[in-house]
Amino acid sequence: MKRNFILSILLISSNWAIGLQGLIIPQNGKILSTAGTGIAGDIHPALNPAMGLSSHSYMQFSLNNWLGDVSGGQTLFHWGNEIPKQLSIQTWNAKDLELWGDSPGDSPMGTFGVHYVSAAYSMSHHFNTPYRFGFRLQTNYSHLFTESLSGITLDVGTTIPIGTSITLGGVIRNLGYEFKNNLRADLPVEAGIGATVKLPIVKASILTDLLYNSINGQELRAAISTNYKWMNINAGTSISKNRNAKAMGFSLNYRRWKINYGIYFHETAVLGIPQFLDVRLYL
């Protein structure tokens, strides 16, 4: 349909692109369900690579449907206790998009697809302090028609516990470059600070983030997440000049298995409702 081509142009030309500026697309269902909130929440190294202590290694597989019929998945392996590490591979694809010329006729000129793949390695260390410090190194490759983009980025972050109930966090993302036709270009740098407040009486946590992106400006995010044994609920919102969005989801724990589901509500309903599903196996 012609609509698919229009949607693909919106995705490629905006900050929700499958290309290298698509680095801000959520990685999995837990991130989606909090609307990307969690710099101080120890949720995923894509939010802050300063990962906390981990009692079990695990593998996780994600099936993701993003805006405009863009689909993808993520596979990751997380290991290490005092010094946690994580290796992940992410893919995104949009297939059978119809191509129309400058003066469209009765039928499309053909179809095309967009493909994106990235691999990331993250590690966190305490350096014999109460704090956590981490980095995340990511390589990216995307292909559209005959054009190819590649790049490499570095994220760095820290978390600072304040007592037993409050944690502060800070992160700098997208330090790196993209390459197109052997020409190097800078990526939009993003910096953020966040806080997590645990509420033991109700077994929940409140998360807040404030981010600044060199292209999009400021963004405020907030979320709440419960901390029960078997089932938990997440909900979040993000507010910026370019978009206002809300998200929610849940997680289920059963023995060595965990399932996360997230759904994302935004202002441009014609692009669809993103939904992510994660399945985790503790080793």
Q: Which residue has the higher pLDDT, 9 or 132?
A: 132
Q: CB atoms < 10 A from the CB of 2, how many?
A: 11
Q: Within 13 Å of residue 166, how many CA atoms lie on the same side as its CB?
A: 5
Confidence (pLDDT) at 101: 55
Task: Please tell me the distance from the alpha carbon of residue 89 to that of residue 85, in angstroms, as a whole number.
Answer: 14
The residues spanned by each domain of the chain are 2-282
Short-list 12, 64, 16, CA closest to 238: 16
How confident is the model over 210-224, as pLDDT tens digits?
Answer: 999 988 899 999 999
Q: Which secondary structure element, helix H or strand E, spans residue 212, and what is its range? A: strand 204-213
Task: Please tell me the distance from the alpha carbon of residue 154 to that of residue 151, in angstroms, as a whole number.
Answer: 11
**pTM (predicted TM-score):** 0.86
- Residue 128 in this model has a pLDDT that exceeds 60: yes
Short-list 61, 62, 35, CA closest to 47: 35
At 121, is the pLDDT very low, low, confident or very high (cuts 50, 70, 90)?
Answer: very high
Residue range 2-282, CATH number: 2.40.160.40
